[in-house]
Structure 1
């Protein structure tokens, strides 16, 4: 192997090959020794020669009985299980770096290669590295549901595009539930909370069933949130938040009575027991402090920003600190709130709920919370660039779905179309860019088919702990 570039390419190809259990770079830095079982040697050799300019020198193999393979599985693995999977022929930093660059599909396949590989892919430092890279290059996430089925599609998120682009949706994931999907939350650091509701019959009597399910569009894993144990329940709303300091997801369960005021607040922490814990997810009481109105589970009416959860109810803005688990109120900028909540570069923003923008629209109005403690808001009025009328399709009506940079908004339709288009409006550059998302509009078109767009989605490859 001549050069570090091709050496690294060869490493990535070998690590991602099914059946490979060990990789070792010899002292001469020119020879790569590969160990494994059931490896397609011919296909591997062809791939190495084509993509990394590496020639296959020799093949060595021995026939082993099932008993021999079982007795020697620790010595033939990539990771030494006698040392709790910590000893690697390759430096652990290099191994983590290689795994972190794999696609989601390759990571899913690699988890099934062996328990040692699955252990490495479950390391917190690998997950953090993958998250850091995903946050630097976030994605667009599209969600839609039909009956009991929920579908996610994601595509690369253009970075301040200046010209019309066509981007392919390169990741698809679907979930199926026992009851119809009613609503979903926005993506919260890679996870989505789904509310399902239906009926079941017991001894001829009909009972209403409502459940909340956590879904990871990156791994395809789902986890039904355990039921809250309480005698006061008339209804419950589950909200998903994320603590960026402790790097933990938390679910806030709010039990409410007929007057709509919450009586109990309980918190469930996802993965608090650490890796390998056998503890079940359990609810615990949180400090309620003040009676709070029950929020809507609609994703447009609640949002988690920087470890603080906000939601609107009855013209009030309630905030919940995910780490301290304490409530407070934020005085709204206006007496009446018919607004959608957005993350504006780390700050809470309000845009009119149900407001659509057409090719002949002229301005965009927004309130931004500048200081949460002092309840200070700033009103921003943006004039749409002159090229807006020339770029936006006259037959489309758009909504603001997010903010991707200083004074850069993302708009899209709430209904599927072919082609499906996303618009980037940069008020500093006075540009409007249309981005066609391939693979979304062709699924199904029609006014009755709604689609939800979430910018700044990050991929979390950590498996949720049961």
Structure 2
């Protein structure tokens, strides 16, 4: 009783200030403490405050896919405050595991889409498409779309309606390109066929930026960028895409959409630069381009390149895939440099299942919009 009185005596403004500086997972756990805290932390005002604070400190998110058919491993870490210190080492936090899949993970605004995950322990059951939260381990299974040929999958987020959407592009017997889209949280989940006036089959995976999906395609023998506006399932126009290589970075920027005017920038890396293959994974709030290794290593390296200062700095991230190295295994690492925690879009009503349920660790249930996992006891 005294404990409850002490908690209730804390000014609300002070509570908001404290909780807005915590990770989303800690906020979710704190909402289980009392009804008052659950009400405060579940308010739209706090969600907006938390997003404002979180946007100023985006994190690195790592998804590791082991080669030995093991589960996916998820880690995250803040960007180093000063990556240009002589010796910079950062410890990454491990969050959760997720059942293995044969396809790549596709990221959008804090969630992942996997086209083929074996959720069931029954080996006779087919893999299913899944959307999951890599921090909490919660997921939802999507209806499987039967197609004549293997589709290419895309995943995006509409910041206006705050909805996640999955796009599948595939061809039929006459080589006609077909598009299907599914919206998470819009009543009964179903695939809808949509029409695209500029139907071009993707040349590779895409990226979703501010509700617009960009991908590369072959158009009249030329490589072009195509974008889909997720907010209305229509509106195609040319977008941008950046490329990378080990020794230098090539970046194309679309200066004028109507005139189709592009500018190319080439940034040579230092002569003593890193020799392994690197991938561009984002930019920092101070303008550094973030690059990461494709394979797990001990330590795992992330690089910060400043075009303005022409500096190229390596930062060691500990614990990312360290257990694989100890067992002489390795894996592919997918890194995302602009992971922002947003409480308002990770509605637990949409992600009802938990990977913890699969492992007989007790019964977990989502009780609020922060995807908080509260243990209720064993069945």
**For each residue in 1:9-52, what CA deviation from the matched residue of structure 2 results, as whole angstroms up to 9, or x when unmatched?**
xxxxxxxxxx9974xxxxxxxxxx515xxxxxxxxxxxxxxxxx
Contact 1:144/1:450 (<8 A) preserved: yes
Which segments of 5 or more consecutive residues in structure 1 lack a partner in the other structure?
A: 1-18, 23-32, 36-77, 79-88, 273-279, 331-346
More helix by share: 1
Which residue is equivalent to 1:452? 334
Q: What does 1:54-453 align with in structure 2 at a 5 Å threshold?
A: 93-114=13-34, 116-146=36-66, 147=69, 149-158=71-80, 161-177=83-99, 180-186=101-107, 188-197=108-117, 209-228=126-145, 234-254=149-169, 256-259=171-174, 261-268=176-183, 270-271=184-185, 280-283=187-190, 285=192, 287-290=194-197, 292-295=199-202, 301-314=205-218, 315-330=223-238, 348-352=240-244, 355=245, 357=246, 361=247, 363-384=248-269, 388-390=270-272, 392-393=273-274, 396-404=276-284, 408-440=288-320, 442-445=322-325, 448-453=330-335
TM-score, length basis structure 1: 0.63
Cα distance change on mapping 1:398 and 1:282 into 2, 3 Å: closer
Q: How has the CA–CA distance of structure 1 residues 238 and 349 changed in structure 2, closer, same or farther, with 3 Å as cutoff?
A: closer
- Preserved contact between residue 92 and residue 320 of structure 2 (Cα < 8 Å): no
Shift of 1:112: 3.0
| C-alpha contact 2:304 2:312 (8 A) present in aligned 1 | yes
Q: How many residues align?
A: 340
CA-to-partner distance for each residue in 1:251-272, whole Å, 9 max, x for gaps?
334464245543343331x345
Distance in 1, matches of 2:165 and 2:37, equals 28
**Residues 430-439 or 211-220, more deviating:** 211-220
CA gap of 1:220–1:324, structure 2 versus 1, over 3 A, is: same
How do 1:26-41 and structure 2 match up within 5 A?
33-34=5-6
Q: 1 or 2 for the larger relative contact order (CA 8 Å, sep ≥6)? A: 2
Determine the structure 2 residue equivalent to 1:44: none
The TM-score normalised by the length of structure 2 is 0.75
**Cα distance, 1:152 vs structure 2:** 0.8
1:463 matched to which residue of 2?
A: 347
In 1, distance between residues paired with 2:26 and 2:19? 9
Distance of aligned partners of 1:448 and 1:148 in 2 relative to their CA distance in 1, 3 Å threshold? closer
Rounded to whole Å, the distance in 2 between the matches of 1:241 and 1:182 is 17
Task: Say if 1:239 and 1:210 are closer, same or farther in 2 by CA, change over 3 A.
Answer: farther
Cα RMSD after superposing both structures:
3.5
Offset of 1:306 from its aligned partner? 2.0
After alignment, is 159-168 or 365-374 more displaced? Answer: 159-168
**Are the counterparts in 1 of residues 300 and 318 from structure 2 also a CA contact under 8 Å?**
yes
1:345-399 Cα shifts (integer Å, max 9, x gaps): xx833215xx3x1xxx3x3222122233433211111233xxx344x45x53433
Q: Distance in 2 between matches of 1:348 and 1:135?
A: 23
In structure 1, C-alpha distance between the alignment counterparts of 2:241 and 2:81, rounded to whole Å: 21
Paired with 2:38 and 2:151, the residues of 1 have a C-alpha distance of 36
| CA distance 1:101–1:160, change in 2 (3 Å) | closer
